[in-house]
Amino acid sequence: MPKDRPADTERNQVSVAAARRIILDSISPVSGWERVAVRAALGRVLCEDVIAPCNVPAHDNSAMDGYAVRAADLSAEGDTALHVVGTAFAGQPFSGIVGAGQAVRIMTGAAIPEGADTIVVQEVVRREADRIFVPPGQKAGQNLRRAGEDLPLGGVALAAGTRCGPAELGLIASLGIAEVTVRRRLRVAFFSTGDEIASIGRPLAPGQVYDSNRYTLFGALSRLGCELLDMGVVPDDPAALEDAFRDACSAADVVITSGGVSVGEADFIRDMMSRMGEVAFWKLAIKPGRPMAFGRIGNAVLFGLPGNPVAVLVTFYQFVQDALLQMMGVSPLPAPQHFAVPCAVAIRKQPGRCEFMRGKLLREGARLSVTLAGAQGSGVLRSMSEADCFIVLPEDCGGIEPGEPVLVQPFSGLV
């Protein structure tokens, strides 16, 4: 954890860009690996390159259904008549040699017969019994896929740091590889804090609210494939919080809390982190989510997220998720997806903080615009469920008029 950063004050909030930089500069991938079957590698991160043990494709083959011919036989002036001497199927190659004036019926993926060097697609060929007539204009070597064209023997099929999705599983299987080496799962402990937080399934006492944040975090962390330690709800009691921190930090690589990081009398998380470890920052120039602490206790990285439900999601997706991916060994990190569209409504904003508003993309033919998705209070989780993007208003923005372009961050690929 860097030691030379100044303590935050009321006048020294950390910007969104600076907070991301501080976080990512402070963490490294976890050590430890395991061998898993290909099907068990979904969502896991490779910790060594996958090397091709064979050419892909393994042999020259046809990219189209058609006829394998010799380019030297084809006339540039008129139709060429050729004698069909056999058929090549994928997995059942033609065993003979294509001689002068001959052709072989061939299917997509079938090995190119010896002697042939060009594929003529079936749609342009006229066939009469065992003869075909090929029109002029064909190019030598057309419609062929060469051995090793996709991946040569000994080439890097997938680099270390790749997170395996469905396409990666298929690529590994196409090489005949049954197991791969992946990093161990990232261990993440999480808990909610506050005397006002009640577990679901129990009646609410006066002044209490149900604990939605743990379920939000459970969903977000499960989709990343983390190994989870759900520590429940910890009351606003310094001794109980200290015990929870010690247990969490001894068992996990990352500890995530929600609530208890603002400046209220019962907000202990920031002080606890400072006393037991280090705090890099605890206040951001962001809305929602201004009170967010980041630091370390021992070997565990800590994120103290706000208590408001929407602020939990905003801070998780803007700061925590990439940090977890980096600790999982993902390299390079996925590039953030942003694009500008006209805003359909006016938005009031004061300069000074970067705001992430819940938005709904609108499509009219080929034209996209965006509007607000319901009430924007940081406790209104329903509008987060109804949204499909964040509307990102930078720190220097002083408001938006209808029709002005705004930056949107779609949830697709993010959440």
Which are the contacts of 250, defined by CB distance < 8 A and separation ≥ 6? 298
Class of domain 61-145: mainly beta
Q: Which 8-state DSSP code applies to residue 168? A: H
Local confidence band at 5 (pLDDT 50, 70, 90 cut-offs): very low
Instruction: Give the separation between CA 312 and CA 144, rounded to whole angstroms.
Output: 53
The structure's pTM equals 0.86
pLDDT digit string, tens, across residues 116-164? 999 999 999 999 999 999 999 999 999 999 999 989 999 999 999 999 9
- Domain 16-32+184-328 CATH assignment equals 3.30.930.10: no
| Half-sphere exposure at residue 76, Cβ-oriented, CA atoms within 13 angstroms | 3
Across 101-118, b (16+ Cβ under 10 Å) vs e yields ebbbbbbebbbbbebbbb
Q: What is the pLDDT of residue 11?
A: 60
CATH 3.90.105.10 region(s) of the chain? 34-56+149-183
pLDDT digit string, tens, across residues 310-364? 999 999 999 999 999 999 999 999 998 999 999 999 999 999 999 999 999 999 9
CATH architecture of 339-410: Beta Barrel (2.40)
Pairing mode of beta strands 367-372, 339-342: unpaired
Local confidence band at 3 (pLDDT 50, 70, 90 cut-offs): very low
**Structure tokens belonging to residue 173:** 């299987």
Task: Check residue 395 and give left, alpha or beta (phi > 0: left; psi -120 to 50: alpha).
Answer: alpha
Q: Which 8-state DSSP code applies to residue 400? A: B
Which is higher by pLDDT, 206 or 104? 104
Q: Could you please state the CATH topology (level 3) that the domain comprising 34-56+149-183 is classified under.
A: Molybdopterin biosynthesis moea protein, domain 2 (3.90.105)
Contact 343, 400 (CB under 8 A): yes
Contact 406, 393 (CB under 8 A): yes
Torsion of CA 375, 381, 383, 389, to 10 degrees: 120
Contact 117, 65 (CB under 8 A): no
H-state helical runs in 92-179 = 166-174
CA-based nearest residue to 215, from 228, 234, 202: 228
CATH 2.170.190.11 region(s) of the chain? 61-145
Instruction: Give the separation between CA 65 and CA 109, rounded to whole angstroms.
Output: 9
Instruction: Give the separation between CA 79 and CA 352, rounded to whole angstroms.
Output: 74
Residue 265, pLDDT above cutoff 90: no
Task: Please provide the average confidence, as pLDDT, over all residues in the chain.
Answer: 92
H-state helical runs in 259-353 = 269-276, 309-315, 321-328
CATH 3.40.980.10 region(s) of the chain? 16-32+184-328
First to last CA, the chain: 28
